[in-house]
Amino acid sequence: MKLWQKNTDSSKEVTRFTVGKDREMDLYLASFDVLGSLAHIRMLESIHLLTKQELDLLSAELKNIYAQIVQGDFKMEEAVEDIHSQVEWMLTKKLGDVGKKIHSGRSRNDQVLVDVKLFLRSEILELAPQIERVFQLLLQQSYRFKDHLLPGYTHLQLAMPSSFGLWLGAYAESLSDDLITLEAAYRVVNKNPLGSAAGYGSSFPLNRTLTTQLLGFDDLNYNVVYAQMGRGKAERIVAQAISNVAATIGKLAMDACLYLNQNFGFISFPENLTTGSSIMPHKKNPDVFELIRAKCNGLMSLPNEIALLTINLPSGYHRDLQLLKEKLFPALQTLRDCLEMTHLMISHLQVQENILNDKKYRYLFSVEEVNKLVLSGVPFRDAYKKIGSDIENGSFTYSTVIHHTHEGSIGNLCHAEIEKSFQNTYAKFNFQQVENAIAELLK
């Protein structure tokens, strides 16, 4: 069944190629298509395109379909092209001509637009708490290991003293900035495109403000051409936001792989969280972190993939946009999986104590010794030359005692400030407004 079909059907080859993975991808959108339809028919009744009785019949059957989807009993018929066709076919099969009225005042274009917006909003609202969970764990572990020193590197060469508290806290603050970009993506996504029809509006007196309120959107995409142009743009912005999170946890994964290496030996994990070798009995491989790293690298390519699919499209709908779903939808689950495994691994992190007591790390303290001379009144350039000379002639002496007090340093990690920044952003996600709107639609 095709919503656009008239008297002549497309060839099987054309149908197979143009439908592509739509049926598979549309299962992600199934529940959201029903929610969009529930809001749309209430609006149609308000402008007298449906009677109250027709609204009640359609609402009851849509809620039945929604329940099937939630329970996992929903299936796409083989002959059906997409989720929009499936829902309308089910309504028509059950209610006859009343089911055919559901498409008044909208196009598949704005149906998929609203479905995608609702889906992405839901995904973001699931991602934000997962990010918050990893953020809180990083802060906890940062505090727990704040006094355990760690070598810091530049150019992968020994540089200056760091600490596990500083290292873990850095990734917590990075997630705080990542959340800002996710919240910005949320604000773009949380606007209602429904009622833009094929991208040029409708001669029906649609009440787009009503569907905005019913679906819990903050606002609507006012210009109907822009509503259609927003397809691809919203996906690209979301992809950029999730790629930022991926960049943070991917870098953390790389550090973990490095620090677990025997030549570093800074951290370890319980054996049941690492893997072995088929011939080397001593191996404890960081497979989880290696896969997180690889998956996150893939996620970081996503904004560019989406940009290349859409970059030369003029305004209006184009079938190219269909391919966005298969790029972005599975990626969101991939990021959630990576966040879940990052939490599991970091919660079982074990750190090596007294690492910097080993004399191979003695030159990490060269800057400390330069600074001591400067504090005693020696000009910095002279102090730098003296310590450099001591290193060259083998007379360098040092202390492993570290006293850093400025904001964000080893001795002043500013956890409270980082936490405040994160929570200020987190509070901008209107979880309750969305939850209340959806609950009201399904009542």
Q: Identify the pLDDT of residue 207.
A: 97
- Is residue 141 over pLDDT 80? yes
- Contact between 192 and 175 under an 8 Å Cβ cutoff? The reply is no
Q: Identify the pLDDT of residue 223.
A: 96
Burial 374-396 (b: 16+ CB within 10 A, else e): eeeeeeeeebbeebeeeeeeeeb
Over residues 419-434, the pLDDT tens digits come to 999 999 999 998 999 9
Report angle CA 94, 98, 99 to the nearest 5 degrees: 55
442: closest CA among 111, 68, 28, 67? 67
169: closest CA among 418, 347, 423? 418
- Is residue 11 over pLDDT 80? no
Pseudo-torsion of CA 36, 37, 43, 46, nearest 10°? -150
- Contact between 67 and 118 under an 8 Å Cβ cutoff? The reply is no
- Is residue 133 over pLDDT 90? yes
Tokens of 103: 């498409």
| Helix H or strand E encompassing 149 | strand 149-154
pLDDT band at residue 122 using 50, 70 and 90 as cut-offs: very high
Over residues 166-178, the pLDDT tens digits come to 999 999 999 999 9
- Is residue 110 over pLDDT 50? yes
Average pLDDT on 371-380 reads 95
Pairwise CA distance, residues 406 & 297, whole Å: 34
| Helix H or strand E encompassing 158 | strand 157-163
Beta bridge partners of 163: 149
Region of residue 77 (phi > 0: left; psi between -120 and 50: alpha; otherwise: beta)? beta
pLDDT band at residue 279 using 50, 70 and 90 as cut-offs: low
17: closest CA among 77, 75, 81? 81
Over residues 26-36, the pLDDT tens digits come to 889 999 999 99
Region of residue 270 (phi > 0: left; psi between -120 and 50: alpha; otherwise: beta)? beta
Q: Identify the pLDDT of residue 4.
A: 45
Residue 408: how many CB atoms within 10 A of its CB?
Answer: 14
What is the CATH number assigned to the segment(s) 12-103?
A: 1.10.275.10
Average pLDDT, the chain: 92
Helices 83-95/22-46 angle, 10° precision: 50
Residue at 149: amino acid letter: L
* Candidates 1.20.200.10, 3.40.50.720, 2.40.110.10, 3.40.50.300; CATH matching 108-152+162-204+222-357: 1.20.200.10
Between strands 219-220 and 191-192, the pairing is parallel
Q: Identify the pLDDT of residue 47.
A: 97
pLDDT band at residue 77 using 50, 70 and 90 as cut-offs: confident
Q: What is the DSSP letter of 51?
A: -
For the chain, how many residues are written?
Answer: 443
pLDDT band at residue 76 using 50, 70 and 90 as cut-offs: confident
Q: Identify the pLDDT of residue 284.
A: 78
Average pLDDT on 77-96 reads 90
pLDDT band at residue 233 using 50, 70 and 90 as cut-offs: very high
Residue at 209: amino acid letter: T
Domain layout of the chain by residue ranges = 12-103, 108-152+162-204+222-357, 358-408
Of 153-162, 204-213, 265-274, 348-357, least confident by mean pLDDT is 265-274
